[in-house]
Structure 1
Amino acid sequence: MSSTPPVPSQAVPPPKVLAERWSEVHSKALPVAPLVRHGDVEKYLKDLRERAPDLFGLEVVGHSVEGRALYHVSLGTGARHVLLWSQMHGDEPTATTALLDFFEYVRTHRQEPWVARMLGELTLHAVPLLNPDGAERFQRRNAQGIDINRDALALQTPEARALKGLRDRLKPFIGFNLHNQSWRHAVGRTGRPASISVLAAAFDEKRSDNPGRLLAKKVCGVIRDAVETLAPGQVGRYDDSFETRAFGDNMTRWGTATVLIETGAWTSMPPDEPLVQLNFVALATALDALATGRAAEADLARYDSIPENLSSGLVQVLLKDVGLFGADGKPFTADVGIAVTREVHRKDGQLTLVHVGKVEELGDLRVLGAVETVEGKGLFAVPLTGHAAKEGDTLRLEKPGRDVIELRQSGELMLLKPQGAASTYRVERILRF
């Protein structure tokens, strides 16, 4: 049985309760991110419409370069319109899954007072997958090779034209621009991963405020408070420099104040389910705050005090004070930072995603945070390449002067402990990604 206290009937559940309830509806929509495909999203949305035709509207608002339908989902009857769009970058799918989980929650919990109130006060509009061609390839850009998020003014892509047309027709008072960011983003100098970063998008070079942007800032503060309940210290503030071509900045300029949510790294692997959960909680809490007016009354300081993102402030694994061999064969001591990204592999027409690790930082890395820190004093790091070794083996190093060069190109390495005999080492740990 759950140990969570009962929730007052009129209130949105607190974040920990929402997280528990998310588990009940999750995976009934789609397999978890990271690999979200257009055909799966399309099937789910059509099924959703059939299961609850009185609740969900569904229309095609355009087609991608390669002819895939761009779907607009609508729900609610309120006079105030909210627009949410996800995956305008095809390799940024976390919020797509979170949106579908949110739809499923609304469908199955529509009688809850807070859900009914939200549907009565707001009309929600969502484009869950704006770049389906990019999603099929797990790539940022669309099939033309254009970044849709830099096409708000030129409108050279059909996907951008569809989103702009929808905004102009609906004139929503606020929008949610949903993305993923690099796993190297940290929360300031804290060393913590920026699992969720938020931003109230600017509308001019001076980063001026107007009532819409102030509301977006307050919504970001509401999101911060909800997410930090589940992930303390893991909310960052994204760079608010004005980008004249970007959708979030121009949406704000056009009259739709925009909240950017960027999903980053998590504290363990694989990261997908906890990050989808955080997005679900963030969106449910923010939408309730807009429906009740609580967002307008939120403390602006909760946004202003969010630590800024540090774009290269985090690695997956940080080896501290480990021994290395230089090109001259002489040993020296340094820190080693291993970063992890995802790559698409295609086999027999099927896509799979794999984690790829690489040594990206080497030297004095005291300013970096890490998901995992390994104390390497008394150990040597060498590439695994060319060694048929396992933990516990004893081996001799051949030509150690090459190892530091090869290490920079390797995602697989060994931590070795010197033994009594010259050039003999015991394999203490093998790191593979």
Structure 2
Amino acid sequence: MTTALILSALLATVPASSYSAAAVPGPQALTTLWEQVHSKELPLPPLVRHSHVEKHLKRLHEKAPDLFQLEVVGHSVEGRALYHVSLGTGARHVLLWSQMHGDEPTATTALIDFLEYIRTHREEPWVSRILSELTLHAVPLLNPDGAERYQRRNAQGIDINRDALALQTPEARTLKALRDRLQPFIGFNLHNQSWRYAVGSTGRPASISLLAAAFDEPRSDNPGRVLAKKVCAVIRDALEPLAPGQVGRYDDSFEVRAFGDNMTRWGTPSVLIETGPWPSRTPDAPLVQLNFVALATALDALASGKAAQADVARYESIPENDSTGLVYLMLKGVGLFGADGKPFTADVGISVTRAVRDTGKGLAIVHVGKVNELGDLRVLGALETVDGGGLFAVPLSGPAAKEGDTLHLAQPKQHAIQMDQPAELMLLKPLEKASTYRIERIIRFER
């Protein structure tokens, strides 16, 4: 029997009467439920390490051994166990894997929270339906060596998500072998994306981007990929009330080496969820919530049959995201000094990435910023915009500078802002005395 016929047969086993029964809670209710089960023992996602994941998975198994099966399916380059947790008794198998890039951690926490929700709410009708209709398989942390360093690649320096064919990494071989053994009818490929992604040309942050991965160069459809599109449509409808205008569609160009594309080609159509920027200085909780809601809603839709009834157009009409359409901080219409010392007006765009550093007192998340856009930036969005009218932007004069200080700029050309310089700047207000300014604001990110 072909993959398409198998998929159609499996979908046909879902009773139509279950579509409306035991409805999953709405998006806002799910965020409240997430707050009830989210572990306060877990650090912020960038600081979650293999030891945290291992501890929580073992605890789940110990508390509900009849529900959770825990298996070590492989080991990383440096010998860390790769855990596979399974639950449910349904004939249709679902595979979810997270953090194949070590610096993309949001969904790992969301998966752990979702598993905890199932443990504590297994008697709820919609949860019970998921467990009876589906068998869930999760690998919450595929690249533990990369996570330990908070880096994209594994300890060999290889991008696991570009190793689906060569299979030179033990992590890739483990994921491929698990898929081949389980033959899941759908998969969820969970990632993070750069904070520069915007939703189309809207300037809005692409907090979540969705993709039904292609399986060939023409980006053809088959029943599996259509199902993945419908699942993305369900997720879109669940997330837009929580993040209006912040759901994008990821570029669906076929990548011959990537796991999502090859999973679809091998018969496991893949839903990619990319977590992106959030307009807050503390983005982790709302982004984990979005992933939790996405997983709960999507799995309920697969179990109940709602996914098969979803409108593909709701996926195809999602604006494609723009990988350079957003900056973290924009200084709008600010005065600058050129290399010739002459003033001019422009916008300044600052991009930010996160890093994890050892402070001597433990690991800490830092925001590394640089100037990466100068000029007329009206087509870009920003997580924060500062009106620079009447102000000048110059490099920070030194660590002792503080807001309210006055300074004299005798040679303005020495205070020009350059592309790619560290985002350590001052916003200055000109005073009556020539070449004298007051520091109105200091902008300082890590190098």
TM-score (norm 1): 0.96
Query: 3-state DSSP class of the match of 1:249?
Result: helix
Q: Is residue 246 of structure 1 aligned with residue 258 of structure 2?
A: yes
SS in 2 for 1:329: coil
Contact 2:200–2:319 under 8 Å retained in 1: yes
* 3-state SS of 1:17 partner: helix
Instruction: Give the match for residue 78 of structure 1.
Output: 90
Tell me the alpha carbon deviations over residues 259-300 of structure 1, each in whole angstroms, 9 at most, x when there is no partner. Answer: 000000001112111100000000000000000010010011
**What amino acid sits opposite 1:153 in the alignment?**
L
Q: Does the CA contact (< 8 Å) of 1:15 and 1:227 recur in 2?
A: yes
Partner residue in 2 for 1:66 = 78
Deviation at 1:353, TM superposition (A): 2.2
The one-letter code of the counterpart of 2:213 is A
SS in 2 for 1:321: strand
- AA partner of residue 439 (structure 2): V
Q: Is 1:399 aligned with 2:388? A: no
Q: Which residue of 2 aligns with 1:340?
A: 352
1:364 is matched with which residue: 369, 376, 380? 376
- Deviations along 1:219-250, one digit per CA (max 9) or x if unpaired, are 00111111111000000000000000000000
User: Is this contact kept in 2: 1:185–1:265, CA < 8 A?
Assistant: yes
**CA apart distance, 1:399:** 2.8
- 1:9 to partner: Cα distance: 7.8
Separation in 2 of the partners of 1:85 and 1:213?
18
Distance 2:98 2:269 in 1: 16
Determine the C-alpha separation between the residues in 1 that align with 2:419 and 2:413: 11
Residue 29 (structure 1) shift: 5.9
Contact kept in structure 2, 1:383 and 1:407, CA below 8 Å = no
Give the match for residue 120 of structure 1: 132
AA partner of residue 371 (structure 1): L
Q: Structure 2 regions of 5+ residues with no counterpart?
A: 1-19
CA distance in 2, matches of 1:28, 1:50: 19
> 1:207 Cα deviation (Å)?
0.1
Partners of 1:47 and 1:231 in 2: CA distance: 33
Separation of aligned partners in 2, 1:179 and 1:408: 27
Matches within 5 A, 1:133-172: 133-172=145-184
The letter for the 2-side match of 1:119 is L
Which residue does 2:329 correspond to in 1?
A: 317
Task: Tell which deviates more after alignment, 73-82 or 343-352.
Answer: 343-352
The percent identity for this pair of structures is: 78
C-alpha distance in 2, partners of 1:306/1:264? 16
Question: Are residue 424 (structure 1) and residue 426 (structure 2) matched?
Answer: no
The alignment status of 1:379 with 2:391, answered yes or no, reads yes
Partners of 2:403 and 2:68 in 1: CA distance: 55
Task: Give the C-alpha shift of residue 342 in structure 1.
Answer: 1.1
Deviations 1:190-213 (A, max 9, x none): 010000000000000000000000
Contact kept? 1:29, 1:100, Cα under 8 Å: no
Aligned to 1:178: 190
Match of 1:93 in 2: 105
Letter in 2 for 1:232: P
Distance in structure 1 (CA, Å) of the matches to 2:419 and 2:216: 45
In structure 1, what residue type is equivalent to 2:312?
L
Alignment partners' CA distance in 2, 1:280 and 1:399: 54
Distance, in Å, in 2 between the alignment partners of 1:240 and 1:29 is: 37
Q: Residue deviations 1:342-379, cap 9 Å, x none? A: 12323459432211111110111111000111111111
CA contact (8 A) 2:46 2:150 kept: no
SS at match of 1:34: helix
Displacement after TM superposition at 1:54 (Å): 0.6
Match of 1:111 in 2: 123
Q: Which residue of 2 aligns with 1:355?
A: 367
Distance 2:109 2:326 in 1: 25
Query: Among 32, 37, 40, which residue is 1:25 paired with?
Result: 37
Correspondent of 2:273 among 254, 258, 261: 261
| Offset at residue 427 of structure 1 (A) | 1.4
- Structure 1 letter corresponding to 2:26: P
Secondary structure of 1:229's counterpart equals coil
Maintained 8 Å contact 2:330/2:347 = yes
Change in Cα spacing, 1:303 to 1:284, as seen in structure 2 (3 Å) is: same
1-side partners of 2:437 and 2:40: how far apart?
50
Q: How does 1:405-416 map to 2 (within 5 A)?
A: 405=417, 408-416=420-428
Q: Which residue of structure 2 aligns with residue 331 of structure 1?
A: 343
Distance 1:28 1:115 in 2: 23
Letter in 1 for 2:69: G
